[in-house]
Amino acid sequence: MKPTLLIIDDEPAIRTLLESFLEERYDCVTAGNAAEARAAIVEQYFNVVLSDIDLGGETGTELVPSIIEASPETAVVMISGNRDLDDAIASIRAGAFDYVKKPFELDFLEMAVDRALQHNQLLRSKRQYETELEHLLKKRTDQVTYLSLHDSVTGLPNSVRFRETLARELETGPSEAMIGVMLITIEGYRKLQETFGHATASDALKEIGRRLVECVNPRSTVARIDGEEFAVLIPGIRDRDELAEMADRALCHIREPLFIEEDEVFLSASIGMSIAPTDSNDAAKLIENASSALLNAREQGGDRSQFYMNGMNRAARRRLSIENGLRRALDRNEMRMVYQPKAECQTGKIVGMEALVRWENDEFGPISPAEFVPIAESTGAIVQIGEWVLDQAAEFGGDLTDLGFDLLVSVNLSERQLREAGFQQMVIDILAENELPAERLDLEITESLLMTDREIAVQALSELRMQGINISIDDFGTGYSSLGRLKSLPLDTLKIDRTFITDVTTDPNSASLVLALVTLAHNLGLKVIAEGVETEEQLKFLKLIRCDEYQGYLLSKPVPRSDFLELVKRCSSGSAGNSTAVHFCLAA
């Protein structure tokens, strides 16, 4: 099938000449004025448009934006006389691909049209590539989203989905409606797992999940929370007795024997229950209350159900203690910093580090960042902690610079910090105090931050980037960012989330997606860092696709300042010319 060409000229003789010369290689359509041209563009797609500038009324230059708007990939070539040269330049600025001056040789004109066709085909291929990549990323994102909301063993909703469903039911349900929450722990599951193995234990969990679904009403939501723990949401219950009856049915169903390898295996359960609005109208509080009731049921010997009563909620007390502890953690010197190196994929040279915070609490011992960071966000303590982290990281980065190690220092940035008045100036002041050049600081943001306060985030990050600070988007692929949006964001680096790296050597789809992300990022002028690299095979793949940098346990776990300094010294002593040398110096 020949490519399509629209010829626009107000002189019939020229239209006929051009058509007869080009029709052997192009499917030509002619138009004598701008109106006819617009009608033709609406009616069919053209690979190339060849237009005179002087059309006797509306000019070809004025027509260009309409052509590009109707078909962005269409390449426009203008024909101009000497007196139309300024108009030809204006046409190029308006979106035309090229122009040819009169008088012209037909062979030269044909070459210009051929170049325009090549440009058109390149644009079409790029659009198709981006569309396919968007589709692939959306498919993978949908898969990741599904897996993030469902249990991989039973297929039931997981804790995240359960909490979302409960919160939505509390928000949208009738104000007078009662909602029951049951948390269920399967007693004897660990022994079954030890006796028969993980595969059989997983089959048992599937069967228990099926039984729970059978014993509640159709509007209920059954979820697997973790390990041997399930949760049930029952909206629209009449009273406590109805919830108690469902709990009794659940206990009876779970007591029924499981037939495993010709043996009968018996399990039991403990159930904790809470009710909205009696116990709370807050989803997290209802779950905490049911958890406290579950603990009480187990303390009484298990194989029973227990309603929540005031005074049970130990989890709430722990959260309150953590909130209070966060306010004093810095004053008590309970926070400490660790640093995880980043290295070039091709050479193994350590070129940067990610600064991470850890908390050793006097009352609870080590507290995971996954637990205390969300609490710090909700209470606002993250602002003070974040400033301290940035100061510590900048100080260490400055010291490393003084020692001759020019590493990029990466610090995670939260939504709450970015919204804080004077944040940008605070960053600049900390850099100045620690004599760390702005180009040696990298601020890592998440996709979710850009989704919630996009305009504020873009403005603040743009101001920081103008100072020379690098901006990275962390965990890319786990959120909902469009690939097209990356073009408009003030970014220097894209970090591919570990979930995409885990199976790049075993799953062709994952490998294709990571390759596509690296290619796209490079086309946008972004550096690419792969997170969670744990095997040599993963690193070999990243080298093959020209990924820029990587971090993960293959290189090093996060380590204290002194250990990191020793690590960098060893790896810069002349042995770190490749990734194997880096691994050797880490193990030394």
Give CA–CA dist 381/417, Å, rounded.
10
Give CA–CA dist 158/226, Å, rounded.
8
Specify the length of the chain in residues: 588
What is the DSSP secondary-structure string of 145-182? HHHHHB-TTT-SB-HHHHHHHHHHHHHHS-TT-EEEEE
Q: How far is CA 491 from CA 262, 469, 497, 517, 520, in A?
A: 61, 10, 16, 15, 14
Stretches in the chain below the pLDDT threshold 70: 82-84, 175, 311-316, 319, 448, 450-453, 475, 477-485, 573-588
pLDDT the model gives residue 292: 87
Q: Is the dihedral of CA 238, 239, 243, 249 positive or negative?
A: negative
**pLDDT tens-digit readout, 41-53:** 999 999 999 999 8
pLDDT the model gives residue 585: 52
pLDDT the model gives residue 575: 46
Q: Where are the domains of the chain?
A: 4-126, 159-312, 326-587
Give which of 486, 536, 545 is closest to 513, Cα–Cα.
545
Place of tokens 């960053």: 427
Backbone angles phi, psi at 7, to 5 degrees: -105, 125
CATH of domain 159-312: 3.30.70.270
Return the structure tokens found at 341.
Answer: 């190196």
Give which of 421, 423, 427, 472 is closest to 449, Cα–Cα.
472
Please check whether residue 349 is in contact with residue 357, taking contact to mean a CB–CB distance below 8 angstroms: no
Angle at 427 between CA 422 and CA 428, to 5 degrees: 100
* Domain 326-587, architecture per CATH: Alpha-Beta Barrel (3.20)
Angle at 535 between CA 534 and CA 539, to 5 degrees: 100
The CA-to-CA distance between both ends of the chain, in Å, stands at: 65
pLDDT the model gives residue 340: 97
pLDDT the model gives residue 581: 39
* Domain 4-126, architecture per CATH: 3-Layer(aba) Sandwich (3.40)
Return the structure tokens found at 240.
Answer: 């406590």
Give CA–CA dist 575/82, Å, rounded.
65
Return the structure tokens found at 564.
Answer: 């990191």
Strand partners, 186: 269
pLDDT the model gives residue 246: 93
Give which of 74, 124, 125 is closest to 98, Cα–Cα.
74
pLDDT the model gives residue 587: 41
pLDDT the model gives residue 229: 95
